[in-house]
Amino acid sequence: MSIEPITSLSDPLDQDDEIEEEEDRKPGEARVSALWIVVILAISVLIVQLYRLQIVDGANYRDLADNNRFRLETIPAPRGVIYDRSHEVLARNHPSYSVGIVGADLPTGSARTKVLQRLAGLLGVSASTLLTQAQSATDTQFTFVPLATNVPQQVAFEVEERHLDLPGVHVELDPIREYTMGSVMAPIIGYVGRITDAQYQRLKDDPVQRYSPQDTIGQVGIERTFETQLRGKPGQEQMEVDATGRRVQSLGVSNPQSGDNLILTIDSRLQKKISDLLTANIARYHVAAAVAIDPRNGQVLALVSVPSYDDNLFAAGISQSDYGKLLNDPQKPLLNEATSALYQPGATFHVITAIAGLQTGVITPTTTIDCPGFISVPNRFDPTIGTRLSDAKAFGTQDVESAIADSCNVFFYEVGGGDPNGTRNGLGIDGIGQYARMFGLGSTTGIDLVGESAGFVPSVRWKRQTLNQDWVPMDTYQAAVGQGYITVTPLQMANLAAAIANGGTLYRPQMVLQIEDANGKVVQNFQPDVTRRLPITPSYLSIVRQGMIDATEIGATATGTHFDGVAKLAAVKGFPIGGVVGSPNYGVPDASGNLPTHGWFVGFGPTTQPRIALAVFLGNGSGPEDAARVAHDIFAYVQQAR
């Protein structure tokens, strides 16, 4: 029996077997191909992502990484100190603490909320308030954003001690402004406050000052006018921080440069004396202001406005309720009555009408006018009907000197508007306006305080264009005695008195004597700034000046006219002065229909070598008597202080 060899392993497969094997292999190859495609796509995405991270956005991410480890922190410059003319400190800095956040160091989500809730408990404020403040600081992730300022030292230390529980929360030493005289100097010094959005947009590109949205800057007064000099130049510190944003080590410091110091022209003791005098009866006056200027150079010695406000409230961060009280106070303590409020000058305007009349030849030094106590101005449509303009009393015959001394309105009615009967022409409103503007009325003086009002001097054209009315003789008569449409500030009237006292030089009121650096070295000296030399004949100014001196005395002029000076209450024994008073009536009438009477004193002293020109305005009160009494006390103080 023979055995056949096995050949199945070497025999070729038949066609059906090959097809079956091919079909078994295809799914496996497809899966491998798909896997390779996925791998290639993944690698491609990874390469693209790496390219974007390292090439396209590399610089940005490197900056972010560095900022999480390295910080460039701004070091605020100490603000300059403000002194009075005797180097008495008026504004300085004292240490305070601010608690705030650096957004990049805060945790996210609910952890951030817990941190801010813990902080709110320590600060004693609403957690929702802190959450709102933190959300608004998203644009300054690597900048310290204060959430609470002027924080008590004990609270600041407690926050710092619990820094592990408060990641992203920081405590910084924050110098705060201190105003040593508060409300007494507030009308001059003003205050600093948080920079507004509009201010930041205007100042953010300053390469030297380098303002930030959290900065404090001068908002009002000298603090605002001299912001650049007082601010100084901030420094910078490059530092390494840990994961919570706290300093690990300093890598380099550029020290800040302190702001310059200001030496003002103000005599703080005189300022305090005048403030006390005006405040003593402010319940009766409602508002009051006084300005004292050195007529020899235009330096402002005092500038008082009451009621006032404590500027320390703003430096420490005023609350909404306190700010609302100031804004809604009917006596407007935020308004600077000396530079921004406008009042009719009343009879103090006589000096302008007198100078204009003499200089234009409408009157001479010896011209006399009978003052029976009134004039009657004929109606322009029916001359048989007249409007009676009364005076304080019948003064009899007056020349220009005695008319100033007695404050005789009738004399100046006729100088300004002419004799109502047509026997003498007057200056007219154009002549009155020309000399009023020459003395600086109707325009700002240029003092270094923001918000100064220009006052107003009317004209025929103005009335026609603004009120659509013709200028009538009655308007001129009113203007000649400082009533009607004319308005002035106490500062303008003090400057006018200074120009009369010094013989005809009108200065721009000067507020700053010097600027010094932090070491006391003088950086800048300020010199008197002459606005104009008045084109007035010296003898005419002398006559007006003598009339103001006569107003504090009783006597007779060279032409034989008698006077009983209306400003005698201002006279000081041993300190001869000159001055005029005014009592304009305007405002809201009382139950009897009487208009409030306001009081002015405008003058200078001593008469031989004047060193103070003074304007005092009292709202309501008893009119010129009160103003003259206040002026007396001021002159008496100056006499004793010399």
> Per-residue confidence at 597, pLDDT binned at 50, 70, 90?
confident
Q: Is residue 502 part of a domain?
A: yes
Percent of the chain with pLDDT over 70: 88
Whether the pLDDT of residue 290 is over 70: the answer is yes
Cα(310)–Cα(322) distance, rounded to whole angstroms?
A: 11
pLDDT tens digits along 62-100: 554 555 566 666 777 889 999 999 999 999 998 877 787
> Per-residue confidence at 10, pLDDT binned at 50, 70, 90?
low
Whether the pLDDT of residue 358 is over 90: the answer is yes
Mean pLDDT, rounded, of the chain: 87
Q: Is residue 408 part of a domain?
A: yes
Which range among 47-61, 230-244, 600-614 shows the weakest confidence by mean pLDDT?
A: 47-61
Q: Which residues constitute the domain of residue 509?
A: 269-323+336-641
Whether the pLDDT of residue 622 is over 50: the answer is yes
Cα(292)–Cα(50) distance, rounded to whole angstroms?
A: 74
Q: Return phi, psi of residue 515, to 5°.
A: -120, 130
Q: Is residue 263 part of a domain?
A: no
pLDDT tens digits along 221-258: 999 999 999 998 887 767 676 665 556 666 767 777 88
Residue with tokens 């110091």: 261
Q: Is residue 172 part of a domain?
A: no
Residue with tokens 């912001």: 227
Q: Is residue 403 part of a domain?
A: yes
Cα(561)–Cα(557) distance, rounded to whole angstroms?
A: 5
pLDDT at 136: 67
- Closest CA relative to residue 635, chosen from 577, 563, 552: 577
Residue with tokens 């004949």: 537
Q: Is residue 105 part of a domain?
A: no
Residue with tokens 């001021």: 634
Span 339-352, mean pLDDT? 96
> Per-residue confidence at 266, pLDDT binned at 50, 70, 90?
very high
Cα(97)–Cα(600) distance, rounded to whole angstroms?
A: 47
Burial of 10 (0-12, 13-18, 19+ CB in 10 A): exposed
- Closest CA relative to residue 578, chosen from 618, 557, 608, 555: 608
Q: Is residue 473 part of a domain?
A: yes
Number of domain units in the chain: 1
> Per-residue confidence at 173, pLDDT binned at 50, 70, 90?
confident
Q: What CATH code is carried by the domain that includes residue 566? A: 3.40.710.10
Q: Return phi, psi of residue 488, to 5°.
A: -140, 170
Q: Is residue 25 part of a domain?
A: no
Pairing of strands 89-94, 169-173: unpaired
Q: What are the residues facing 533 on neighbouring strands?
A: 505
> Per-residue confidence at 138, pLDDT binned at 50, 70, 90?
low
Q: Which amino acid is at 626?
A: D
Chain-centre distance for alpha carbon 14: 108
Sign of CA dihedral 480, 486, 491, 496: negative
Residues 6+ apart with CB under 8 A from 11: none
Sign of CA dihedral 463, 466, 469, 474: negative
> Per-residue confidence at 45, pLDDT binned at 50, 70, 90?
confident
Name which residue leads in pLDDT, 152 or 466.
466
Burial of 118 (0-12, 13-18, 19+ CB in 10 A): middle
pLDDT at 592: 73
pLDDT tens digits along 564-574: 999 999 999 99
Question: Is the CB of residue 416 less than 8 Å from the CB of residue 480?
Answer: yes
pLDDT at 42: 79
Question: Is the CB of residue 180 less than 8 Å from the CB of residue 91?
Answer: yes
Tokens of 56: 């396209």
Question: Is the CB of residue 371 less than 8 Å from the CB of residue 410?
Answer: yes
pLDDT at 64: 47
Cα(597)–Cα(202) distance, rounded to whole angstroms?
A: 45
Chain-centre distance for alpha carbon 413: 39
pLDDT at 167: 83
Span 15-42, mean pLDDT? 68
Q: Which amino acid is at 147?
A: L
Q: Which amino acid is at 609?
A: Q
Count of CB atoms situated within 10 Å of the CB of 389:
19
Residue with tokens 């000298």: 222
Q: Which amino acid is at 441?
A: L
